[in-house]
Amino acid sequence: MSIDQSSKNDPMFPGKPAESRPGPRFLAPYAVDPLTSRGRLVPEPPCDTRSPYARDRDRILHASAFRRLNYKTQVFIYHEGDHYRSRLTHSLEVAQIARALARTLRVDEDLAEGLALAHDLGHPPFGHAGERALDAAMTGAGGFDHNAQSLRVVTELEKKYARFDGLNLTWETLEGLVKHNGPLMGPNAARHGKAVTPVPESILLYCAKQDLELATFASVEAQAAALADDIAYNNHDIDDGFRAGLFTFAELAEVPIARRALAEVRTAHPGIDGTRLLYESIRRLITSMIEDAVAETERRLARLAPRSAADVRQAPNAMIAFSEKMQRDLDQLRAFLATHVYRQSRIARIMDDAGSVVRDLFKRYSEEADALPPEWRGSASRDTRAYARHICDFIAGMTDRYALAEHRRLFDATPDLR
């Protein structure tokens, strides 16, 4: 759409000259066009100063669930130290990389950024240990999936607005949040190994109200956010793991992609060591991953030649991806981090104890409704399955420190998690 065209009959920005408002003037043809958004479940008047996706991003930033990410575990419990990542700082790093990818690929930066900021809103306390504990506790009641919980947060659990529950985000943001890792059903999901696990109940229930087209891929913007997540966590887990003393440079150099980065830094800066060597190497790793992803994405886009965002959604494969060589390198890096960080004996012991905190809380609330805080008692359903989901929502929204405080309130002994 040219500037002249976009200035005519624009319902999103009434009365605004084209040069003074956001718009898709320089977007690629395969980008999501904010002027043709499918809108919100509850219709709202347009904003004179922001596109629909900029409004979504801002609503996510101001959500209570987003603030609570500051005290939710990424890898290390919050009291381990001030310099380790939390879910909040992780989300900010993902957003920065997602914006960089979106800008390079000429797609909507606001949509990519909003999805990056929202992608972990549904994570419970204590990271994947908390998720596993909640999923086990919800056996027979719909299970627990952090991606589905993110959808519940933005469509139901945030309660700030007079006219609706949730944040009333656009269809494109909700679609990207649910499908950023690929289709959830249909031939494409089966082809890419995503159909082994049933679609979470919470997602199916929402799609009965607003169809998010679970059998197709999400937009390029959503795919950019998903790949940015991979780049961010692989690199900041190297940083946090090294700072925690879980491995040495010599051990890290066993991973080919890390060995090449370390050697490049040492060649450019003889005698460098410690955190400077660490950061310089991580900078190069991030750059190499982004450049590889952009090159592979451009190859895929050239083959498909999509003329619209709809073409991207109907494609047989994701558009944004790493090359096969980079994917092999990352598989080796992930295996190293799994051994030296995620399954390291001290971390594994702490996570086991953290999982027991979540299990204890779920059991106590299930058996004793009065154990819930007053504001959560009154809205509890008498239906057993609905009550289990109610408890699940409460626990999933907890920060690490609040979960520990609740455990100390209800039990005589609470794990130290150190």
What residue ranges do the domains of the chain occupy? 1-30, 222-340
Tokens 């084209």 -> residue: 18
Angle at 409 between CA 407 and CA 411, to 5 degrees: 60
End-to-end CA distance of the chain: 57
Q: What share of the chain is helix, strand, coil (3-state, %, to 5)?
A: 60, 0, 40
Question: Residue range 268-285: average pLDDT?
Answer: 97
Q: How many CB atoms lie within 10 A of CB 313?
A: 22
CA distance 22 to 394: 38
Mean of per-residue pLDDT scores for the chain: 91
Query: pTM higher than 0.75, yes or no?
Result: yes
Tell me the per-residue pLDDT of 238-269, one tens digit each, with 9 for 90 and over: 999 999 999 999 999 999 999 999 999 999 99
Do residues 244 and 275 lie in contact, with contact meaning Cβ atoms separated by under 8 Å? no
CA distance 380 to 148: 20
pLDDT band at 298 (very low <50, low <70, confident <90, very high): very high
Cα–Cα separations (whole angstroms), residue 383 to 60, 259, 386, 389: 31, 56, 5, 10
Tell me the per-residue pLDDT of 154-178, one tens digit each, with 9 for 90 and over: 999 999 999 999 999 999 999 999 9
Cross-strand pairs, 86: 73
Distance of CA 70 to the CA centre of its chain: 14
pLDDT at 14: 42
pLDDT at 78: 67
pLDDT band at 197 (very low <50, low <70, confident <90, very high): confident
Sign of CA dihedral 336, 337, 343, 347: positive
Cross-strand pairs, 40: 170
pLDDT at 10: 42
pLDDT at 73: 86
The yes-or-no verdict on residue 196 having pLDDT over 80 is: no
CA distance 28 to 26: 7
pLDDT at 79: 63
Identify which of 126, 132, 155 has the alpha carbon closest to the alpha carbon of residue 144.
132
CA distance 112 to 119: 11
pLDDT at 7: 35
Instruction: Please enumerate in sequence order all residues whose Cβ is within 8 A of that of 110, keeping only pairs 6 or more positions apart, or say none.
Output: 22, 34, 51, 53, 54, 56, 57
Instruction: Extract the tokens encoding 367.
Output: 């058996």
Identify which of 137, 114, 112, 111 has the alpha carbon closest to the alpha carbon of residue 124.
137
Q: How many CB atoms lie within 10 A of CB 232?
A: 25
The yes-or-no verdict on residue 8 having pLDDT over 70 is: no
What's the residue count for the chain?
Answer: 418
Helices (H) and strands (E) in the chain, counts: 20, 0
CATH class of 222-340: mainly alpha
